Structure 1
Amino acid sequence: MTDVKNAQSRPRVEPVWDQNGRAWDEVRRGGTSGGLGGISGADWLLYGAVAAVSLGIGIVNALSAAQDAAWRGAAYDARTPLFWEMTSIVTIIVVAPVLFVAVRRMRHVSGWPLRIGLAVAAIIIFSTLHIAGMVGLRKLAMFLVGGTYDFHSSAATLIYEFRKDVITCLLIGGALWLIDSRREAQQSRLVVATVPADPPSAAPHMVWLRDGSTRIRIEPRDILWVSSAGNYVEYSLADGINHLVRGTLAAEEARLTRFNIVRVHRTRLVNLSRVTGLKTGANGDFELTLDTGQAISGSRRYRGAVNSLEALAANSTSVRDDTGARP
């Protein structure tokens, strides 16, 4: 790890509960897999569903428009309404990742005012890209066939398109929010089911690992940090020994939280009992100094994990000020 100083590599140890790892046991990494912005892994299935539903709605709307025109006495021609609908639908499919990114960001921030602000910003960005892309496609297509396209840009036209985009954003974003909530609930149940208790004969303050048929006992107070390493998690101990454990960081977090070992980064847990210093940055990120002198970086997303340390530091400063002593 580039942001943990003096880390060492040591023997691999497999935990008792994970002899047969499953793909869904792994902690899902944030960000993307290099595809369309904000989409990775199982999200492609949802993205495909959004695309399929959008295309279906576009085709039905086009056919309905053609039928309505025929009932009004015009010739039945589905080509023109289908062209208008498809330019809109294709653009929606292309810019849909904006909503994926926004929903994920909203789920990782606290406070509804901030979430609402992100939602409003996402809707505005989505609608702007949708209208610009749709108009651009129509102008390009008409130019290629020797025609022209006039969007009749006006406040009324923009409002007309924007209110439809609001509904589209709410439908796609709401569906993604509900699916993510269900997925997280399932993963939480899976973690509880797959993290067994330590051996019945073990003391409640012990942590046991297993290497083949050999059990290795470590004291929680000797753990400095636990970090993810691909399909493994790595225990870094105060004596310099590291144990590479096959499993997930979420599973380790579930059983180590009671020892004051908490997540401070998407890829890392830290033993707060070993922390001797805390430095926060202007962007909300922070750095912890351990009693071994090593520095561990933390993400603002997990700032709440070190609230107890900040409160302790604030109380200590308050006591010194009340007694007249200088820090």
Structure 2
Amino acid sequence: MHIASTDLLQRYQRWRRVAEPGFWIVLTVLQASVNSWLVWQDLQRTGVNTPFWEVAVWEWSSNLVLLALVPVVVLAGQYRPLHLVFQRQNLRWHLAASVVYSLVHVAAMVALRKLAYWSAGSDYDFGNWWRELPYEYLKDVRAYFLVLLAVGFYQLLLMRWQGEATLLGEPDEGPAVEPVQQPERFLVRKLGKDFLLPAGDIEWIQAWGNYVNLHVRGHDYPLRSTMAAIERRLDGKRFVRVHRSYIVNLDFVQAITPLESGDARAVLSTGGEVPVSRRYRDGLKSSC
């Protein structure tokens, strides 16, 4: 069964770039189609003879804009990770982002509807904006957080599927080949095989619930640990805490970009960026 799971993962990786957007496209098509039919049927039952094409325009315009906004929510989740959402500062940030998300959704949706009605020789009226916007926001904030949760759960599931890291323990007999309290390598299980991951290859480490993610060449390997515990086990001359949720490998830091908020961004030689909070910014500069 494990071999079958490994084969399935290998096949999925080949199709991942198609499968991920394909999932959202199929979901959008199904949702817009089913909702169009159900809403039209409800209108017919109440005696409102609205043409089906109008109902289809309402549903498809809304769902197509929501589909286009999925990558934006994914980026928001990467900027403010899922497990940090319910911290007060991050929750405020995501709530503010959901307002912008809703405004963009409504504006683009109305524009598409007006264009569709105009092409049919008719005119579309959205109604009273001050009354309709709060109603639309209540739907959009739910959609925003549902996408955020779905993407976060998928990413965590994929990371666990791809491989999980463990610390090398003391051998049953004889001395350890390297310091166990400051490991130079991690044991990673991936695709049914165990291999050693040099600590120096880790670009950054990110907190994720009960795990920390070791980021290496575009891949994340979850390790069951806390940030404080893993920080104590790493070489302090190479790995530096830059955020309550991030540790960075100094060997990969190429530049430090200050932000207006007082925080900063560590730009890595691999092209990635790691957030640096103002609390740790001076320490990072002195370490570099």
Q: Same fold (TM over 0.5)?
A: yes
**Alignment RMSD, CA only?**
4.9
Deviation at 1:131, TM superposition (A): 0.5
Structure-1 separation of matches of 2:123 and 2:280: 60
Moved more, 80-89 or 48-57: 48-57
Deviation at 1:59, TM superposition (A): 1.6
Between the aligned partners of 2:23 and 2:113, the Cα distance in structure 1 is 25
Unmatched segments (≥5 aa) in structure 1: 1-23, 26-40, 209-219, 229-245, 272-278, 288-297, 314-327
**CA distance change for structure 1 residues 94 and 68 in 2, over 3 Å: closer, same or farther?**
same
1:183 correspondence with 2:158: yes
Task: Quote the offset at 1:52 in angstroms.
Answer: 2.1
Q: Distance in 1 between matches of 2:137 and 2:165?
A: 42
Q: Which residue of 1 aligns with 2:210?
A: none
Instruction: Give the counterpart of 1:91 among 56, 59, 65.
Output: 65
Bigger proportion of residues as helix:
2
Determine the C-alpha separation between the residues in 2 that align with 1:123 and 1:87.
Answer: 19
Shift of 1:88: 0.8
User: Following TM superposition, by how much is the alpha carbon of 1:250 offset from its aligned partner in structure 2, in angstroms?
Assistant: 6.4
Q: How does 1:160-309 map to 2 (within 5 A)?
A: 160-186=135-161, 189-192=163-166, 203-205=177-179, 257-260=233-236, 261-262=238-239, 269-270=249-250, 283-285=262-264, 301=275
1:28-80 superposed Cα distances (whole Å, 9 cap, x missing partner): xxxxxxxxxxxxx9576344323322332222221112212332345585322
1:107 aligns with 2:81: yes
1:143 pairs with 118, 121, 128, which one? 118
C-alpha distance in 2 between matches for 1:128 and 1:169: 12
Alpha-carbon distance in 1 for matches of 2:280, 2:46: 68
- Determine the C-alpha separation between the residues in 1 that align with 2:218 and 2:175: 25
Structure showing greater Rg: 1
Name stretches of at least 5 consecutive residues in structure 2 with no aligned partner: 1-8, 186-197, 204-215, 224-229, 267-271
Aligned residue in 1 for 2:27? 53
Per the alignment, residue 17 of structure 1 pairs with none
Aligned length: 223
Counterpart Cα distance in 1 of 2:34 and 2:70: 20
- After superposition, the Cα gap between the structure-2 partners of 1:267 and 1:44, relative to the gap in structure 1 and judged at 3 Å, is farther
Identity among equivalent pairs (%): 19
| Higher RCO (Cα < 8 Å, 6 or more apart) | 1
SS at match of 1:301: strand
Residue 38 of structure 2 corresponds to residue 64 of structure 1: yes
Greater Cα shift, 89-98 or 42-51: 42-51
